Structure 1
Amino acid sequence: MAKDVGNKGVQSSNMGCTVCVPDKRINSLQPEAAQCLLNYFRRLQVEDLSFFYAVQLDSNGFTTNFFWRDGRSKVDYDYFGDVLILDKTFRIEEHNIICAPLWGLNHHRQQVLFGCAFLLNESTDSFVWLLETFMEAMDRHQPKTIFTDENELMVDAVKAVLPDAEHRIGIWYIRQNALKQLSALYMQPGFEILFNKCISDCQTEEEFESRWESLLERFDLSENPWLSRLQHGENIKSVFQIPKNENMGLLEFAQQYLEEVKRRRLEELDEDFQCNGTAQVTILTSSAIERQAADIYTRTLFKTFQEEFLKCLSVTIEETASNETITTYKLTEEGQKESVVEFNCLDSRVACSCKKFESFGILCFHALKVLNARNIFHIPHKYVLKRWTKSAKCGVPYEYEQEMADEMKQQTVNLLMHKTLNVFTKSVAIEDSKKIAGDCLGKTLEQIEDVLRAKKADHLEMIDMSRGMI
């Protein structure tokens, strides 16, 4: 699928309005490079019918922005698109172009690429175009959370295109920019330790606000404009570790991007094999809840769960309040801060002040301790996120489950297309699996043709019978 968007003005961030840009090479991609990239995408589309690319043109018809994704990326987004990271920290020096991959995390917490863009400039117009195009490429399924850098124009674009998504600033971006914006302060004793505690080691809003105020007061930063805009975020790293090459063009970078996509998919496939029996995890206790976690979670997520579970063995618990349905507990780990957990006896809901589950998707050791105290020796179903399990890519993605109730016929077609594409993209990695997929699809096609022939014969027979009755 291709999309060309023309007659778009280039927005001026200084004036805050859309203006027509005169014909200058610096305001558009070099025609030769743009045409070479378009030709490459068209060839890819012949090989992958679900390949999607889009182009934005300025008011003079010159290319300004590109976006593309392959068919497998659409499948990955269906399963793991609840969290979206837009990383625009990489530049292609030869063209002074921003390379902006959009990615997320799979069930192994590996980076999974959903698509990539070349942007000529950092403007609201460019960011809105990119997010709108991405939504079109992904059937308009909005992420629950999007992480970006702290660019104010990006903030405006997210509000305009993804109003239902929670917008967060990545901690990686904060640390990177802090080194630039506050370089002199890093030489002062205690600043770096306190700053890192503020952004990485606060369990509650109250604790963050207290430490933040202490930081601003101690180092006289109350009027610092950059610090005043910061907020919590996810600890993420740039998806690209490609060495900078001044001679690298758009086509070469697009090719390297797709090679990076292949490499990461092979890593995911390898980890899938490991999770499905070739590498066993070590269970350290006889607890049923630990065995359950080992059965359902991927190896990476089980290790995270296991760390939390082992911590709960050394934490003290004290009931502080109770009524007919809600019991409140205070939990304290030796040498650590206190946490508060509320337990609802009607539906076994646990809410912890550290908000580990809300931010990470795994129950914290405070909540696990309370469940144990309440004689609940399994993870309640509501606290098992499918995206972290071994079966994350099995069956119907959550989004389709919700929509099929409303539009059953159309969503059934979408589901069939999704399953077929999933089979295709998974099978191409290994020759044996490619043969299995080819044989099965061949048999399936023969059976479908048999059904169609039978239906056609029945239809013709009914026509003959009708003629005989006239």
Structure 2
Amino acid sequence: MCLVVVFSGVNHHNQSIVFAAAIVVKEINETYAWLLERFLEAMGGKSPISVITDGDNAMLNAIKKVFPKARHRLCTLHLIRNATANVKNLQFVTKFKQCMLGDFDVSEFERRWDKMVAEFGLENNNWVFELYSKRDMWATTHIRGNFFAGFKRMSRCKGLHSEFSKYVNLKDNLLDFMQQFMRWINYMRFREVEADFTSSFGDHVLQSPLHKLEESAANVYTREILSMLVPIFNRLCTCRVKAGKQSGSLFNFCVVRYGKKGVKWNVTFCQAKLEFKCSCLRVESYGIPCEHMICVFVSLEIVNMSGCVFMPRWTKSAKDSLPGFEGTNNSCSGPASVGAFLWIVESCKRMANVEMGEN
């Protein structure tokens, strides 16, 4: 009858993984602050750059205190549920989803938001006012350019809960729970080892017309990440480079898409640094290049994808620079692996001291 807090994320194969876990008695500010401090300690002082939660106030306050530099995003699914409960108008929920998920610039977002509020007469609605004040935590317009691996909601977390429920039940005591927890973690590690082997030694079947670019990506990206990139290669036929300007070693390209008048993206190429950047910020947000950038590659007859578009955390060598992983594919070592078990022990000690005293 205790709360289990799981800190989860994804590995370089886009598989769900557990960074750490803890058993707590109460969901209060002090508890979550203690949890995040222990998490920071287990990770050698390295805090996450992005966090997604359901908006719990205790967790929100703890994140501000312990991870002040982390970008905090609110789960879109919870926001939609809250919108349904607080406004009780399905048409508003539809318009709100468009504002939340639409990839607009700031001025367009403000125009759509003001129009929506006026349309449904919500100028004096406190919940809507508070929601707008937190727009940098949920609106794609304001979050774009911050890495969240493409996640907008906590569906991965729900999936982990469902998977973990296969290993434990309400009748398990604390010792059985810890043993089953480690059994679950070991299964996840084995799954990652399998994916490492498949990415390193399996043969990739080319699926797009851009054979050279796809082949160069296949040499670097893991199999799962490459499967996310192939549809982008195929969407390239709808894009074209409309114009280009040069200023010294800096090139600026304007990319448009068929059927979308007035919509354009700016791709810059610094020849001196061999760096590409796109105004859509797909590389910064998702870690994979966009079709606008690849369109410029084709225009410049580049057959090998530039290193600037490869985010190291999605590559086959993602673990090479981590302590405990150098020169090995063993995913069962490293501080995070040990941290998951030690957290359970430490949390149980703390719970015992609070509830039952030192004895």
Q: Normalising by the residue count of structure 2, what TM-score does the alignment of the two structures yield?
A: 0.74
Matches within 5 A, 1:10-409: 95=1, 97-164=2-69, 166-170=70-74, 173-183=75-85, 185=87, 187-189=89-91, 191-222=92-123, 223-225=125-127, 226-228=130-132, 229-230=134-135, 231-232=137-138, 234-235=151-152, 236-237=154-155, 238=157, 239-241=160-162, 242-243=164-165, 247=171, 250-278=174-202, 280-319=204-243, 321-336=245-260, 337-393=263-319, 395-397=320-322
Q: Normalising by the residue count of structure 1, what TM-score does the alignment of the two structures yield?
A: 0.58
CA contact (8 A) 1:135 1:141 kept: yes
Cα deviation per residue 1:61-84 (whole Å; 9 max; x = unaligned)? xxxxxxxxxxxxxxxxxxxxxxxx
| Percent of residue pairs bearing the same amino acid type | 25
Cα deviation per residue 1:351-399 (whole Å; 9 max; x = unaligned)? 2221111111111111111232233332211221222112222x323xx
Aligned-pair CA distance for 1:293 = 0.6
CA contact (8 A) 2:242 2:254 kept: yes
CA contact (8 A) 1:283 1:291 kept: no
SS of corresponding position for 2:276:
strand
Aligned-pair CA distance for 1:134 = 1.1
CA contact (8 A) 1:158 1:167 kept: no
**One-letter amino acid of the counterpart of residue 145, structure 1:** S
2 CA distance for matches of 1:424 and 1:363? Answer: 27
Matches within 5 A, 1:377-456: 377-393=303-319, 395-397=320-322, 423=330, 425=332
CA contact (8 A) 1:325 1:345 kept: yes
User: Which residue number corresponds to residue 51 of structure 1?
Assistant: none
1 CA distance for matches of 2:184 and 2:11? Answer: 15
Aligned-pair CA distance for 1:321 = 5.0
Q: Are residues 421 and 252 of structure 1, via their aligned partners in 2, closer, same or farther at CA, if it must alter by over 3 Å?
A: farther
CA contact (8 A) 2:8 2:20 kept: yes
1 CA distance for matches of 2:115 and 2:176? Answer: 49
**Structure 1 spans left out of the alignment, 5+ residues:** 1-94, 398-414, 427-470
Q: Are residues 368 and 145 of structure 1, via their aligned partners in 2, closer, same or farther at CA, if it must alter by over 3 Å?
A: same
CA contact (8 A) 2:84 2:90 kept: no
2 CA distance for matches of 1:186 and 1:255? Answer: 45
2 CA distance for matches of 1:326 and 1:285? Answer: 29
Aligned-pair CA distance for 1:261 = 1.6
Q: Are residues 313 and 276 of structure 1, via their aligned partners in 2, closer, same or farther at CA, if it must alter by over 3 Å?
A: same
2 CA distance for matches of 1:301 and 1:277? Answer: 16
Q: Are residues 145 and 315 of structure 1, via their aligned partners in 2, closer, same or farther at CA, if it must alter by over 3 Å?
A: same
Q: What is the root-mean-square deviation of aligned Cα atoms in Å? A: 3.0
2 CA distance for matches of 1:330 and 1:151? Answer: 42
For the pair shown, the structure with the greater C-alpha radius of gyration is 1
**One-letter amino acid of the counterpart of residue 396, structure 1:** S
**Structure 2 spans left out of the alignment, 5+ residues:** 139-147, 334-359
Give the total of aligned pairs: 308
2 CA distance for matches of 1:320 and 1:219? Answer: 44
Q: Are residues 213 and 279 of structure 1, via their aligned partners in 2, closer, same or farther at CA, if it must alter by over 3 Å?
A: farther
1 CA distance for matches of 2:8 and 2:42? Answer: 14
Q: Are residues 311 and 322 of structure 1, via their aligned partners in 2, closer, same or farther at CA, if it must alter by over 3 Å?
A: same
Q: Are residues 307 and 157 of structure 1, via their aligned partners in 2, closer, same or farther at CA, if it must alter by over 3 Å?
A: same
CA contact (8 A) 1:204 1:353 kept: no
Q: Are residues 300 and 214 of structure 1, via their aligned partners in 2, closer, same or farther at CA, if it must alter by over 3 Å?
A: farther
1 CA distance for matches of 2:220 and 2:184? Answer: 29
Aligned-pair CA distance for 1:248 = 5.3
2 CA distance for matches of 1:423 and 1:266? Answer: 10
1 CA distance for matches of 2:251 and 2:220? Answer: 29
2 CA distance for matches of 1:177 and 1:316? Answer: 37
**One-letter amino acid of the counterpart of residue 45, structure 2:** R
SS of corresponding position for 2:288:
coil
Q: Which has the higher contact order (CA 8 A, sep 6+)?
A: 2
Q: Are residues 161 and 184 of structure 1, via their aligned partners in 2, closer, same or farther at CA, if it must alter by over 3 Å?
A: closer
Q: Are residues 174 and 98 of structure 1, via their aligned partners in 2, closer, same or farther at CA, if it must alter by over 3 Å?
A: farther
